[in-house]
Structure 1
Amino acid sequence: MRKKMLALLMVMALGTATLVGCGGNSNSGDSNDAKTEQDANKEDTEGEDSKEKDFSVSMVTDVGGVNDQSFNQSAWEGLQEFKKKTGAEVSYLESTQESDYSPNLDKQVEEGKDLVWGIGFAMADAVKESAEMNPEVHYAIIDNAYEETPENLTGVVFNAQDPSFMVGYVAALSTKEDKVGFVGGMHSAVIDQFEYGYRAGVAYGAKELKKDIEVKVQYAESFSDSAKGKAIATKMYSDGCDIVFHAAGNVGTGVIEAAKEAGKFAIGVDRDQSDLAPENVLTSALKLVNVAIELVSEKAMNGEEIGGKTYTFGLAEGAVGIPENNPNMDKEVYEKTMAIKDKIANKEITPPYNEETFNDFAL
């Protein structure tokens, strides 16, 4: 009898140990082979249990990665804020090369996500193809509008030429050398908005000051090579530019690093990038992807019919502009720039968004 009792106790002890061992991994979250946010869904969620929703959203980054200090990072910040407000499950997958796009999107479908985001126009083809193959899943994409949009896909674009015009105007009123620069990532309709909006803003400010200001332009043909961005900007600074604006994702961190080393100014993009170089970031052209991510994700969660259409975010939605705090900018320049913002909002100024509209822009 004693032997039977001892055996029974040993079995019970082993069973308890097994349960404890499994319990250590009970909060699973996403465990993808690709780079993913560690413990994305294990953040402090005290007080959120009452509002938890059975809704999951994931995003797939482009090759810039989630820590690009630019639009991928802004997108992830938007999803994190969406989680705080709604209790929804959020996660991401990073793409290290273009060939990762389709497999990463497929993985989100396999995991049963309710909404899958593609971040960046470079993912346009992969997102559309995945949406057509999986009509039961809803997709959304940042920075792309399709001629024919599937019913389960939502496009999101921004009037990026508006804040670009504003920072171009700031550059014109702030330059001491009458020579400024622009560093683009890769040629595209999206980056055209930044380049030509900026160049028009510089021209507008130069006309106001009754002088000529040169704008040097160069593309890195990358959104991830920060070393190349640094090299391009360093050459611009050595050639006499004292302000360089970038619209280049992680390439732009190299531009800002070059500004620090040269003791000159850079203009950030997408997010307020002043934290990267507090003494060398003049201002930033805000394109708040996080605002769009939050709003569209909430519409999807609430069951609104958002598929088959494209949303445009601009000044009215508070999704573009410049930061309120710009310690390196002259106060008078800021006030004049706010007046320019009002003129854009009132359609008194319509910033150009490509070469054709730039050539037609009336100063």
Structure 2
Amino acid sequence: MTISTRKRVLGGFLAASMFVALAGCASAPETAPTSGGESPSGAAVVDGFKPCMVSDAGGFDDKSFNQLGYEGLVRATEALGLDEPTTVQSDSESDFAPNLTNLVDQNCTLIITVGFALASAAGESAAANPDIEYVSIDDTVDTDFDGKTDSPNIKPIIFDTSQAAFLAGYASASYSTAKKVGTFGGMNFPTVSIFMDGFAQGVEYWNEQKDDNVEVLGWDRDKQDGVFTGAFTANQDAINAAQGLVDQGVDVLLPVGGPIYQSAASVIRDSGREIALIGVDADVYETDPSVADLLLTSIRKLIDVGVEDAVNAAAVGEFDATPFVGTLSNDGVGLAPFHDFESKVSPELQGELDEIKAGIIDGSITVESYLAG
């Protein structure tokens, strides 16, 4: 099945069941090696509750989505009085299934999978282990494409980052003096391209509102394709992708794919030009101070908060498989502050962004997304 078909199927899933509870939450096994005291709400933690996590490629120190998921897990386990959480890192796709089996064998009662790429392996593991609860970050785990999550013991946590990326695109167009902004991604997964497409829509909206002609390089909205490195690592391919866009004259660069922003940062520094970087997932200004001076802003999705809430609920026997969809309306996604660029952007920009955000929330401004159906 093609990526574009996958996007349509995911959109259909959410149109049908975004806020509908999925039936039959599995209970935690009665015996496991970890126990705690009370949850933050004061409720008793289920005996033997043991939350675990498996990363996507990039590792738990990627200063992006894997790290955010891990931080949410750690915060929750500390608050619950549990032992240090069990985690396994995936270095490639071939690690996914063995890593999940590893966690099952360690008597994990809640397994959190980080990333779209883990969906198939997560679905198979959940089906084979109905007494274990699963949380899937960035995917609905609809691997048979029938419009619903594969198993009732999986809770999807997903984010309509096109909305926040729309704001970032508008801000980038406002900032750009070259009238060229660029973006590239790790792989053409919906959870990657959603940033790029939302970004391009925000630039288009700027052009419409300001009668301007800022160009987006690296992403073609009509073809739903663009510049990709083929992986989520800060390697030579990521450097080449960033260099290609910089050579075409962009003065804002949005890399989407975990640590590939580090390659973009190195290209920007070597260029000797004033080129602004845009972070994704976390507020990269805070997670990676080494690139803080380059960051115009970051497109945020609150993976850590979603994970923390899911762990806290499961810990007291209140696991809920209802999909969580982060939007601007529920603050599941958002735009980070301009930080060091505050004095470099237009004084009117923040007010305009606030109006656009309100328009997206009330529906008067449409942002296209596979999550919007």
TM norm structure 2: 0.78
Alignment match of 2:356 (pick from 318, 340, 356): 340
Match of 1:70 in 2: 64
Deviation at 1:51, TM superposition (A): 9.3
Alignment partner of 1:310 is 2:285: no
Match of 1:122 in 2: 117
Match of 1:326 in 2: 339
Match of 1:352 in 2: 368
1:118-177 deviations in Å (ceiling 9; x for gaps)? 100100000010011111111111111123320111111111111110100110100010
Alignment partner of 1:270 is 2:284: no
1:297-355 deviations in Å (ceiling 9; x for gaps)? 22212222413x42212223322111235221424323322222222122221211259
Query: Partner of 1:279: helix, strand, or coil?
Result: helix
- Could you tell me how far apart the structure 2 residues matched to 1:252 and 1:113 are? 33
Match of 1:148 in 2: 148
Deviation at 1:102, TM superposition (A): 0.8
- Could you tell me how far apart the structure 2 residues matched to 1:52 and 1:255 are? 47
* Unmatched segments (≥5 aa) in structure 2: 1-33, 35-39, 219-226
1:190-230 deviations in Å (ceiling 9; x for gaps)? 22311111100011112222111111111112112443222
- Could you tell me how far apart the structure 2 residues matched to 1:58 and 1:229 are? 31
- Could you tell me how far apart the structure 2 residues matched to 1:159 and 1:354 are? 9
TM norm structure 1: 0.80
- Could you tell me how far apart the structure 2 residues matched to 1:298 and 1:317 are? 19
Q: Superposition RMSD on alpha carbons, in Å?
A: 2.3
1:24-45 deviations in Å (ceiling 9; x for gaps)? xxxxxxxxxxxxxxxxx9xxxx
- Could you tell me how far apart the structure 2 residues matched to 1:204 and 1:174 are? 14
Query: Partner of 1:246: helix, strand, or coil?
Result: strand
- Could you tell me how far apart the structure 2 residues matched to 1:176 and 1:58 are? 47
1:86-140 deviations in Å (ceiling 9; x for gaps)? 2234231101111111111111111111100110010000001001111111111
What is the percentage of aligned positions where both structures have the same residue? 28
* Unmatched segments (≥5 aa) in structure 1: 1-40, 42-47, 358-363
Query: Partner of 1:284: helix, strand, or coil?
Result: strand
The list of structure 1 runs, each at least 4 consecutive aligned residues, that deviate by more than 4 angstroms after superposition, is 50-54, 354-357
Alignment match of 2:314 (pick from 297, 300, 303): 300
> Does 1 or 2 have the higher relative contact order (CA < 8 Å, sep 6+)?
2
Larger Rg: 1
1:68-98 deviations in Å (ceiling 9; x for gaps)? 1210011111111112322234231101111
Change (3 A) 1:354 1:312: closer
Higher alpha-carbon deviation: 202-211 or 320-329? 320-329
Deviation at 1:52, TM superposition (A): 8.9
- Could you tell me how far apart the structure 1 residues matched to 2:310 and 2:330 are? 12
Deviation at 1:356, TM superposition (A): 11
